[in-house]
Amino acid sequence: MGHNSQPAWKNTSDRGSLWLIEVITWIILHLGRNIGRLFLYPIVCYFILFSSTTTYSRQYLSLSLGRSPTLVDVFRHYYSFANMLLDRVYLLSGKTHAFDVQLHGEHILDELIKKNKGIILLGSHLGNFDLLRIFSSKYSDIKIKAIMNDSNNQKINKVFEKLNPSLKDEVITIGTPESMLYLKEFVQQGNLAGILADRVETDSRTVRCNFFNQTSLFPSGPLIVASLVNVPVILCFGLHRKNNQYDVYFHLFSEQIDLPRKDRQEKLTLYMQEYATILEQYCKKYPYNWYNFYDFWQDTL
């Protein structure tokens, strides 16, 4: 990827999402979740007919399924995306009781929280990261905030902020020395901060990883942030099973991200390759939960 070029996802990925979120938000607030789920069918059909991103859906599905995807596979992929947005609206409305969530590896989180250790939660655009809201009430003394780059989906965030005005207080916008100091203080007080690590930002530092036996760029920024904050890193995946059922997985990724100056790039590559390998495993297990609707491998050309 050229130094000043736009990452592929900025050009394609979320263009239609804003309209979709606004429609789904209106349906849920006025008609309820069950009726909202019925409306997803015509919405998804519209997307499949008129969106240019179906090529990228097929590209990804052929890798995750290990076969040529059918039209039904593509429909399931887009339906999963629309359902995730519907559930996200529901979660942001505070209606967390509507979900049946199975937690896997929760003891990893419990042990670190009992030691009053802050945590960086490393997520992705596989599944629904907002599911963390469901169990945040369990840890009433712990705050959870999202780490974001200022350019991330500003329009979409505004829609969600109308739904939940406190949302902007749950975000740490990084990019300045002051914000890094705040993040470090916030996490080292025993709180949790989540960051997604599968999309490259404009001009961000990158690492080449093997992902589905092809080379793909991953951002090194999230791990650099984790190394500066100097707390344990846990991988977190909130994956949709069916209906209102989700699986949430926690993996202890590292007790501490250590990036010595002399071999920093080599260490970053090792860490990010481990992340990409685990991400690929979950993509194969939950293939329709992948919400990067763009040419994920284009930026390596």
DSSP run (H or E) holding 31: helix 17-31
Q: Which residue has the tokens 């967390």?
A: 96
Q: Which residue has the tokens 């791990």?
A: 223
- What are the backbone angles phi and psi of residue 172, rounded to the nearest 5°? -110, 110
**What is the pLDDT averaged over residues 16-42?**
78
pLDDT confidence tier of residue 60, bands split at 50, 70 and 90: very high
pLDDT given for residue 102 in this prediction = 92
- What are the backbone angles phi and psi of residue 132, rounded to the nearest 5°? -60, -25
**pTM of the predicted model as reported, rounded to 2 decimal places:** 0.89
Q: What contacts 286, CB < 8 A, 6 or more positions away?
A: 126, 127, 239, 240, 241, 247
Higher-confidence position of 289 and 170: 289
Residue 62, pLDDT > 50, answer: yes
pLDDT given for residue 274 in this prediction = 97
Cα first-last separation, the chain: 7
What are the pLDDT digits (tens) for 248-291? Answer: 999 999 999 999 888 999 999 999 999 999 999 999 999 999 99
pLDDT given for residue 267 in this prediction = 94
Q: Which of 31-45, 142-156, 197-211, 240-254 has the highest mean pLDDT?
A: 240-254
DSSP run (H or E) holding 45: helix 33-50
Amino acid at 23: V
pLDDT confidence tier of residue 50, bands split at 50, 70 and 90: confident
Which domains does the chain possess? 8-300 (3.40.1130)
Cβ contact 92:134 at 8 Å: no
pLDDT given for residue 6 in this prediction = 55
Long-range contacts of 95-100 (CB under 8 A, 24+ apart): 95/33, 96/133, 96/134, 96/137, 98/33, 98/244, 99/131, 99/134, 99/244, 99/245, 99/246, 100/244, 100/245, 100/246
- What are the backbone angles phi and psi of residue 296, rounded to the nearest 5°? -65, -25
pLDDT confidence tier of residue 78, bands split at 50, 70 and 90: very high
DSSP run (H or E) holding 195: strand 192-196
Return the CA Rg of the chain: 19
